Amino acid sequence: MTNSDLQLAQEIVRQASASGVEAEAIITQDSETQIKVSRGEVEQLAQSTSRGLGVRIIDGGRTGYAYTSDFSPASIEQTWKTALELAQVATPDEFRRLPDPRPIPDDDLEIWDAQMPHVPTADKIDLLKRVERAALDYDPRLILADFCNYGDAISHMALANSRGFAGAFQRTVAFAYLMGIARGEDGGMVNAFGMGASNFFHDLDAEAIGREAGSKAVSILGGKPVETQVGTVILDHFVGAQILEALAAALSAEAWQKKRSFLMERMGQQVGSDMVTLMDNGRLKRGLASAPFDGEGVPTSATKLIDEGVLQNLVYDSYAAGKAGVQSTGNAQRAGHRSLPGLGPSNFYMQPGHLSREEIIAGVDKGLYVISVMQTGGIDPITGDCSMGANGLWIENGKIVGAVGGVTIATTLDGFMSNVTAVGNDLRMMPVGGVIGVPTLRVDNVTIGGTKG
């Protein structure tokens, strides 16, 4: 993408808004690679490049949207005229309007890897093969590395609107993951994930990703249920991220306005322990979802949603903010030129603490370190219910003494936040349901469902 795309977006806005309507034009250009490897062979390789234009027209609260990948002058003109026509027949909504322009900070978010567009496909394949090899070489009981995938995205976006905003940025993201499957002497099989993600290709550590899946899977082989009890659990990153994903949904202004959050009407109240500080930070350096501005030109921000257990804020886009009479937090997300902006989290994470994972384990008299879960009862951001099938490791007197399997862990999202008693220093950002960041967490008073005593 060059400055010409931004200039083109501005020219389209000028033409489309000439009749007195509000107009916005977005131009995106994306290149993606997806690779899947199985038993050392490339099972899937897909590469795509796309460039497109989307035009939004707002006329008296009525919205029309049209898009195209044809950049001929006739197609461009037809696109904005189609958006204009659609706006004329849309249902008006007084809160539908373009945001007022706000200054965009010019700090370097470190989200662009200038080398990634030039990384040979062979190097990407080699990285993924090394991921798989590291998992299978970890232990002979590793029988399969499933879902061994690599993906990257090289994205450019230019955005302009009739309120005077014009801006462009570029971002790169690369990730690799796999599920290691291990089989014990009794024939029982378990699985565990390993993952790595970064804005920079060469930050990916193939061996570490593979070893993570292998070591976790082997560690929970032969797991047996424990007696049903209410006790302490320690949540691995992948487990904690699934719970935080539900919290992100519950902390959306849109969810509140639709009365679809278990946190309704509790602004300013204590909703968690003083260990719980939740952030949504679209300006996080090297954040996988970081950007200088959001999908409608509002500067991204670091928003403290829960501060030491006290609910303080929600995430807003311009529409939800207009309804609430507040300022947007810069959380309008776009899935490319084909989509209208919609409210969603950016880099959503729990503020890390000062303890290592080993120190947290050492502080547990008796409890379960949860390594993998299955969504049995699920996690519901509306009711706050939380129940999962779990595998992990049993802790006695601060030491791991054996594997646990075939149990459930159950609490509520209220209970989860209120009973967080230790937070690790190992914050990890993962592309799970957006970008979720979580350290190792200790949670007390969780029901561990196993065998009858």
Per residue in 386-418, pLDDT (tens digit) is 999 999 999 999 999 999 999 999 999 999 999
**180 and 290 part of one domain:** no
Is it the case that residue 301 has pLDDT exceeding 60? yes
CATH number, position 65: 3.30.2290.10
Number of Cβ within 10 Å of residue 138's Cβ equals: 23
d(CA 245, CA 350): 11
Residue 109 has pLDDT above 90, yes or no: yes
Q: Which of 216, 245, 280 is the last residue of a domain?
A: 216
pLDDT at 51: 97
Query: Do 138 and 57 share a structural domain?
Result: yes
Asked if pLDDT for residue 1 goes beyond 70, the answer is no
Q: Same domain, yes or no, for 212 and 307? A: no
Tell which phi-psi region holds residue 108, choosing left (phi > 0), alpha (psi between -120 and 50) or beta. beta
Q: Are residues 292 and 351 in the same domain?
A: yes
Measure CA 198 to chain center.
13
Q: Are residues 177 and 316 in the same domain?
A: no
pLDDT in tens, 180-220: 999 998 888 999 999 999 999 999 999 999 999 999 999 99
Q: At what angle do helices 73-89 and 3-16 cross, to 10 degrees?
A: 50
Host domain of residue 274: 223-453
Residue 320 shares a structural domain with residue 425: yes
Domain tally, the chain: 2
Average pLDDT of the chain, as a whole number: 96
Element (H, E) at 126: helix 121-136
Of 187, 216, 245, which one is at a domain's C-terminal end?
216
Q: Give me the mean pLDDT over the 49-76 stretch.
A: 98
DSSP 270: B
Where a domain ends, among 152, 183, 216? 216
According to the model, what pLDDT value does residue 30 have?
A: 97
Q: Could you tell me if 237 and 132 lie in one domain?
A: no
417 with 296, same domain: the answer is yes
Stretch 69-83: mean pLDDT, rounded? 98
Q: Say if residue 108 is exposed, middle or buried (CB neighbours under 10 Å; 0-12, 13-18, 19+).
A: exposed
Note whether 433 and 304 are same-domain residues.
yes
Q: Average pLDDT for residues 284-305, to the nearest whole number?
A: 97
- pLDDT-derived band at 341 (thresholds 50, 70, 90) equals very high
Say yes or no: 261 and 127 in one domain: no
Q: Are 324 and 317 in contact (CB under 8 A)?
A: no
Are 148 and 239 within one domain? no
Query: 257 with 381, same domain?
Result: yes
* Model confidence pLDDT, tens digit, residues 342-385: 999 999 999 999 999 999 999 999 999 999 998 766 899 999 99
Task: Extract the tokens encoding 368.
Answer: 């379960």
